[in-house]
């Protein structure tokens, strides 16, 4: 139907060639070991000495990156999966520097999300209670990951979430405690606070997902897009939900691309309007936003575009390329069906983010402060809010640019991939401390490791997995988790955010009163 498949094939091929060249550069000795390992792999699991200290065995590396000719051959002659998880894939004794750095402040929300279980702990029964909506159960025992799958999730979500956890195990080998958890890959949180908090109510089931709101108790975990995301254009859900982009590289690469894009256009030279491009269907709030588009009759200072997937595919995704979207001084963030994965890409742009008041938050959003990192936009009067915000920014360019830079820096620094892994590490570690039982491998579970997951993946997904793979363990320990907020401290922080939003709303009111008086 379109030429996209060919592009994918070409890129995949190039990626493997590049990988192979990178490996080749590491010297003849390594090449020899790699050569050996191709043969060794055919037999069984081999015990190859570590090269250059704490990296992964070259046999494992070879299995993951494919042969020089291109493809990793995953099946034997009768078509069954050839690989099983190697017994000794991870360095166990690698030394790390103690980390002196303290984690970004949003890590404090780890304590808040786990607070419901702080006193009573987590029992196996409570976890069982979360089974109803979960897509899978994850068990980690002795540094190895096992999964019990309950139902299919939306494409790529469960696979990439699990992939991310495997990379975490490679990044901090031997550091994760044994644990067992339920994960729900759908958009909206489901553990309603009112069902579980109060006298004679049961304890809430602990359930991991990608976002929550003020009325729910789901535990927030980084979403799958940090390891890349691609959805096929024919999918029903591209049209039926608020997907911002269909072809997103792993976060590390996306950040780099966006940074390069940012350097191409300085803030002052960007288009002085508010920009949004996305899928407005089936989200009332986004459809409402479209009413603010510039028209013959009135200019609300907004330039809004509908993502046209088919055209984009034909043009090789040029327009939806994230790095090419940083062309305006202001960018609008508006939620989809729940939180939107687009948030981090929008904020990364060095444009001032105009954030339509959200209901849902992902793991990093709660640390962001209005007027410091973004400009708050009313949800119930988007157009007047946008008009004022853009005019204000163009009047006070230094201030707007300052907010743009602070927001962007938050994403580039505090949400860089190393901190995403640190966040995962700390939330899993804190969660495991609450468990009141010793996790064991369930009878029906499958063991997961990169070899098996890569063999099971195809096309773009496989390419993203290769790209986002952790190649050697971290040289330093995770950042230091901040202590929980004191209640008064937490309240002050929430007040600060509410006050800043109120401040902007007061300015807006004043502005529109003056406008109306004039007309
Ligand atoms: C292929 O693998 C399956 C599962 O491991 C095994 O049962 C089968 O005997 C293998 N077939 C050949 C031809 O090696
Ligand atoms: C918004 O207005 C611009 C400029 O007139 C136009 O190109 C664009 O298609 C409009 N967007 C929508 C969603 O109608
Ligand atoms: C921007 O400056 C113009 C001209 O000084 C003024 O009329 C307008 O009210 C200002 N708007 C805002 C939002 O500050
Ligand atoms: C591999 O893919 C098949 C089919 O998509 C799926 O049923 C199976 O659970 C996958 N296995 C793993 C380990 O992900
Ligand atoms: C927020 O505003 C209230 C009332 O205007 C004030 O009493 C309070 O000190 C402010 N809090 C912060 C953190 O700015």
Measured CA to CA, the distance from residue 155 to residue 404 in angstroms comes to: 33
What would the two tokens of residue 59 be? 């046999």
- Asked whether the beta carbons of 63 and 72 are under 8 A apart, the reply is yes
Any ligand 4 atom below 6 A from CB of 420:
no
pLDDT attached to residue 27: 44
Q: Looking at the predicted structure, is the pLDDT value of residue 78 above 90?
A: no
| SS3 state at 261 | helix
Q: Indicate the average pLDDT of the chain.
A: 83
Q: Looking at the predicted structure, is the pLDDT value of residue 388 above 60?
A: yes
pLDDT attached to residue 50: 29
pLDDT attached to residue 88: 64
Ligand 5 binding pocket, CB closer than 6 Å: 492, 495-496, 499
Query: Of all atoms in ligand 1, which is nearest to the CA of residue 84?
Result: 5
Which ligand sits closest to the CA of 371?
A: 5
Q: Which of 282-286, 350-354, 428-432 has the lowest mean pLDDT?
A: 282-286
Ranges of beta strands (E only) in 254-327 are 271-278, 302-306
Q: Looking at the predicted structure, is the pLDDT value of residue 514 above 60?
A: yes
Taking residues 119-130, report their average pLDDT.
96
Any ligand 4 atom below 6 A from CB of 452:
yes
Centroid of ligand 1 to alpha carbon of 80 (angstroms) = 6
Query: Of all atoms in ligand 5, which is nearest to the CA of residue 499?
Result: 1
Centroid of ligand 5 to alpha carbon of 76 (angstroms) = 67
Rounded to the nearest 10 degrees, how much is the dihedral formed by the CA atoms of 281, 287, 289, 290? 90
Rounded to the nearest 10 degrees, how much is the dihedral formed by the CA atoms of 468, 469, 471, 473? 100
Residue 94's nearest CA partner among 54, 56, 63 is 54
Rounded alpha-carbon distances, angstroms, from residue 343 to 46, 338, 517: 44, 12, 37
pLDDT one-digit tens code per residue, 499-513: 999 999 999 999 999
Residue 283's nearest CA partner among 230, 177, 360, 223 is 360
Q: What CATH fold (topology level) applies to the domain 251-416+495-518?
A: Rossmann fold (3.40.50)
Which ligand sits closest to the CA of 496?
A: 5
Q: Residues, the chain, total?
A: 519
Measured CA to CA, the distance from residue 408 to residue 352 in angstroms comes to: 8
Domain map of the chain by residue range? 105-235+418-483, 251-416+495-518
Taking residues 309-332, report their average pLDDT.
69
Centroid of ligand 3 to alpha carbon of 396 (angstroms) = 9
Centroid of ligand 2 to alpha carbon of 357 (angstroms) = 23
Measured CA to CA, the distance from residue 417 to residue 249 in angstroms comes to: 13
- Which residue is closest in CA terms to ligand 3's atom 12? 392
pLDDT attached to residue 1: 22
Residues 6 or more apart whose Cβ sits within 8 Å of residue 229: 156, 160, 245, 246, 247, 248, 341, 464
Measured CA to CA, the distance from residue 304 to residue 331 in angstroms comes to: 10
What would the two tokens of residue 118 be? 């702080």
Any ligand 3 atom below 6 A from CB of 512:
no
**Tokens 């990296």 belong to residue:** 55
- Asked whether the beta carbons of 203 and 195 are under 8 A apart, the reply is no
Taking residues 61-77, report their average pLDDT.
52
């Amino acid at each position: 139907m379109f030429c996209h498949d060919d592009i994918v094939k070409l890129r995949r091929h190039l990626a493997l060639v590049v990988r192979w060249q990178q490996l080749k550069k590491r010297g003849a000795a390594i090449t020899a070991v790699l050569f050996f390992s191709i043969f060794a792999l055919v037999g069984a699991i081999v015990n190859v000495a570590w090269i250059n200290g704490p990296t992964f065995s070259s046999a494992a590396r070879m299995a993951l990156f494919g042969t020089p000719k291109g493809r990793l051959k995953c099946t034997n002659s009768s078509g069954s999966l050839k690989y099983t998880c190697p017994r000794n894939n991870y360095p166990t004794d690698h030394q790390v520097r103690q980390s002196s750095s303290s984690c970004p402040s949003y890590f404090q929300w780890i304590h808040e999300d786990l607070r419901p279980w702080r006193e009573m702990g987590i029992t196996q029964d409570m976890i069982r209670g979360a089974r109803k909506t979960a897509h899978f159960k994850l068990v980690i025992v002795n540094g190895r990951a096992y999964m019990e799958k309950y139902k299919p999730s939306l494409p790529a979500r469960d696979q990439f979430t699990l992939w991310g956890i495997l990379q975490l195990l490679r990044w901090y080998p031997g550091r994760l405690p044994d644990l067992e958890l339920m994960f729900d890959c759908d958009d909206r949180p489901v553990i309603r606070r009112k069902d579980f908090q109060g006298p004679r109510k049961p304890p809430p089931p602990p359930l991991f997902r990608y976002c929550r709101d003020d009325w729910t108790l789901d535990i927030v975990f980084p979403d799958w897009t940090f390891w890349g995301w691609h959805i096929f254009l024919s999918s029903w859900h591209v049209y039926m939900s608020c997907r911002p982009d269909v072809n997103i590289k792993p976060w590390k690469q996306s950040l780099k691309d966006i940074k390069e894009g940012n350097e191409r256009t300085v803030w002052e030279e960007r288009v002085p309007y508010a920009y949004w491009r996305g899928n407005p269907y089936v989200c009332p709030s986004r459809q409402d936003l479209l009413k603010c588009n510039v028209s013959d009759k009135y200019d609300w200072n907004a330039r809004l575009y509908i993502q046209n997937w088919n055209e984009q595919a034909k043009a090789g995704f040029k327009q939806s390329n994230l790095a090419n979207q940083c062309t305006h001084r202001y960018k609008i963030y508006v939620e989809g069906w729940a939180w939107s994965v687009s948030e981090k890409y929008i904020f990364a742009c060095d444009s001032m983010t105009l954030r339509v008041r959200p209901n849902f938050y992902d793991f990093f959003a709660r640390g962001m402060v209005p007027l410091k990192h973004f400009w708050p936009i009313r949800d119930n009067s988007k157009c007047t809010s946008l008009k004022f915000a853009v005019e204000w920014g163009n009047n006070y360019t230094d201030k707007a640019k300052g907010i743009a830079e602070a927001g962007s820096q938050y994403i580039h620094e505090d949400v860089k991939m190393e901190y995403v892994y640190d966040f995962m590490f700390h939330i899993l570690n804190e969660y495991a401390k609450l468990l009141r039982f010793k996790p064991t491998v369930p009878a029906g579970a499958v063991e997961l490791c990169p070899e098996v997951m890569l063999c099971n993946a195809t096309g773009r997904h496989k390419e993203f997995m290769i790209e986002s793979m952790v190649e050697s363990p971290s040289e330093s320990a995770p950042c230091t988790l901040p202590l929980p907020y004191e209640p008064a401290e937490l309240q002050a922080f929430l007040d600060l955010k509410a006050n800043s939003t109120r401040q902007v709303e007061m300015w807006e009111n004043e502005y529109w009163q003056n406008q109306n008086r004039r007309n």
